[in-house]
Structure 1
Amino acid sequence: MNSLLLFFAAVFWGGNYVVGGVLVKSVNPMLLSELRWLFTALLLLVIYRSAFRQNLSLLWGSRRSVTALAILGQVLFPLTLYIGLQYTSSLNAAVYMSATPCVVLTINRLVFRDRITSSNVVGVLISTLGVIYLLFKGNLLDLERVSASVNRGDLWAIGSALSWALYCSFLRVKDGRISGYAFVTASSIIGALIMLPICALFYLFASDSTLGQDLTSLFSRVDVTAGLIYLVLFPSWLSYLFWNRGIMALGATKGEIFTHVIPLSGGLMSILFLNVEVGMYHLVSALCILGGIYLCSIKKARVEK
Structure 2
Amino acid sequence: MKASLYLVLATLFWSGNLVIGQAAATSMTPLELTFWRWTLAAVPLLLLAHFFEKPDWRAVLRRWPALLALSALGMIGYTLLLYGALGYTSALNASLITAANPALIMVMAIVLLGERTTRLGWLGIGLGLLGVLLVLTRGEVARVFSLSINTGELMMTGAITVWGFYTILARRLDVPAISATAVQVVFATIMLAPFALAFNVRFPGTAAEGWSLAYIVVFPSLCSYLFWNLALKTTAPGTAGNYLNLVVVFTAIITVVLGTPLSLVQIVGGFMVIAGVLLTGTRGQRGPAARTTATAGPGGADNRSPA
Asked if Structure 1 and Structure 2 have the same fold, meaning a TM-score greater than 0.5 normalized by the shorter chain, the answer is yes
1:292 aligns with 2:276: yes
Question: How much does 1:53 deviate?
Answer: 6.3
Larger Rg computed on CA atoms:
1
Q: Does 1:150 align with 2:150?
A: yes
* AA matched with 2:283: K
- Counterpart amino acid of residue 220 in structure 1: T
**How has the CA–CA distance of structure 1 residues 255 and 76 changed in structure 2, closer, same or farther, with 3 Å as cutoff?**
farther
Supply the distance in 2 between the matched residues of 1:39 and 1:82 (Cα, whole angstroms). Answer: 17
Superposed displacement of residue 262, structure 1: 4.2
Q: CA deviation at 1:9?
A: 5.0
Distance 1:121 1:145, change over 3 A: closer
Pairing 1:159–2:158 present: yes
Q: CA deviation at 1:225?
A: 2.1
Residues 47-94 of structure 1, C-alpha deviations (whole Å, 9 max, x = no match): 333467632122122111111111111111011222233334434444
**Aligned residues of 1:16 and 1:231 also touching (Cα < 8 A):** yes
1:37, CA displacement in angstroms? 0.5
Give 1:133 deviation, angstroms: 3.6
Change (3 A) 1:7 1:45: same
1:232 to 217, 228, 240: 217
2:199 aligns to what SS in structure 1? helix
Q: Which moved more, 1:42-51 or 1:55-64?
A: 42-51
Q: 1:243 to 1:157 in 2, by over 3 A?
A: farther
1:266 matched to 2:251? The reply is yes
RMSD: 3.8
Distance change >3 Å, CA 162–CA 240, structure 1 → 2: farther
Deviations 1:230-262 (A, max 9, x none): 21133323445638997xx657xx988876654
Residue equivalent to 1:206:
none
TM-score by length of structure 2 reads: 0.75
Q: Shift of the alpha carbon at 1:102? A: 4.3
Gaps of 5+ in 1: 204-210
Go from structure 1 to structure 2 and tell me whether the alpha carbon gap of 1:225 and 1:37 turns closer, same or farther (over 3 Å shift).
same
Can you list the C-alpha shifts for 1:196-221, whole angstroms capped at 9, x where unaligned?
Answer: 11211222xxxxxxx4xx42xx2531
Displacement of 1:96:
3.8
In structure 1, the partner of 2:56 is 55
Where do 5+ consecutive residues of structure 2 fail to align? 291-307
Determine if the alignment matches structure 1 residue 278 to structure 2 residue 258: no
* Shift in CA distance, 141/86, structure 1 to aligned 2, threshold 3 Å: closer
Structure 2 CA distance for partners of 1:154 and 1:50, relative to 1, 3 Å:
same
Cα offsets for 1:122-154 (capped at 9, x unmatched): 2232333333344444x3456389943533x44
* Number of aligned positions between the proteins: 284
